[in-house]
């Protein structure tokens, strides 16, 4: 007790802040684990409705725009064609937000550019999120969609994360009978794509 009283106020605040940050990170991790489990065991039902992919992409970008702007990163989205089909909008937003936040995290401040585009191809819609950041090391490609996988040089490449974002995104896309992948052989940055079937 006496020791505690001797502790300077600013140090106390620092400790308290660390505890709060740790408990935030822990509760995000627990939520992600629960989410992943529900999705992979089929206990999470999709709420499939007719939605507009152009609007969903705009929503995802606006929800994350302030983080990109704070880092001086531009997000470009030039799609002007409205397209409607059936999907669970909250879940697709979750995938887009995860891809966008990874793109922001792995891209340098002030000269980062992220683009989001979509095309219709056969009976699928394909959505691409591209960045001009660090890119994905060749040895990581096989594993990035595995649960808990994070690149080995996390400290220099990325300060935080649970390694569940892409595993959850993969579950969501596969539960929609779609497919998600990262493109190989990029000279600059990373490109993630996913496709969803429509009828």
Min dist. Cβ of residue 58 to ligand ADP (A): 20
We find the least distance from the C-beta atom of residue 164 to ligand ADP, in angstroms, to be 6
What 3-state DSSP class applies to 157? helix
CA distance 75 to 115: 6
Least spacing, CB of residue 52 vs ligand ADP, in Å: 26
Residues at the contact surface with ligand ADP, assessed by CB under 6 A: 98, 102-103, 106, 131, 133-136, 140, 144, 149-151, 158, 161-167, 190
In the complex, minimum distance from the CB of residue 163 to ligand ADP, in angstroms, rounded to a whole number: 4
Nearer to ligand ADP, 117 or 140 (CB): 140
The dihedral over CA atoms of 100, 159, 156, 37, expressed in degrees to the nearest 10, equals: -70
55/84 Cα distance (integer angstroms): 10
Q: Which residue has the tokens 């684990």?
A: 33
Beta bridge partners of 193: 128, 181
Residue 106 corresponds to which tokens in the numbers above?
A: 């792995």
Pick between residue 84 and residue 153 the one whose CB is nearest to ligand ADP.
Answer: 153
Q: Which is nearer to ligand ADP, 135 or 197 (CB)?
A: 135
Between residues 51 and 165, which has the closer beta carbon with respect to ligand ADP? 165
Q: Are 23 and 48 in contact (CB under 8 A)?
A: no
């Amino acid at each position: 007790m006496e020791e505690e009283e001797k502790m300077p106020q600013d140090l106390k605040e620092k400790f308290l802040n660390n505890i709060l940050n740790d408990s935030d990170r822990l509760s995000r991790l627990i939520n992600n684990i629960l989410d992943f489990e529900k999705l992979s065991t089929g206990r999470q039902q999709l709420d499939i409705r007719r939605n507009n992919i152009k609007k969903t992409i705009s929503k995802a970008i606006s929800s994350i725009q302030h983080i990109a702007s704070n880092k001086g990163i531009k997000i470009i989205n030039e799609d002007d064609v409205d397209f409607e089909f059936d999907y669970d909008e909250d879940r697709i937003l979750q995938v887009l937000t995860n891809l966008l936040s990874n793109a922001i995290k792995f891209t340098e401040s002030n000269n980062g550019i992220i683009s989001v585009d979509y095309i219709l191809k056969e009976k699928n819609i394909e959505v691409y999120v591209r960045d001009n950041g660090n890119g994905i090391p060749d040895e990581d490609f096989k594993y990035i969609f595995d649960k808990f996988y994070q690149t080995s040089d996390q400290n220099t490449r990325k300060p935080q994360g649970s390694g569940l974002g892409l595993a959850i995104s993969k579950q969501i896309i596969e539960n929609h009978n779609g497919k998600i992948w990262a493109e190989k052989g990029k000279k600059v940055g990373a490109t993630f794509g996913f496709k969803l079937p429509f009828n």
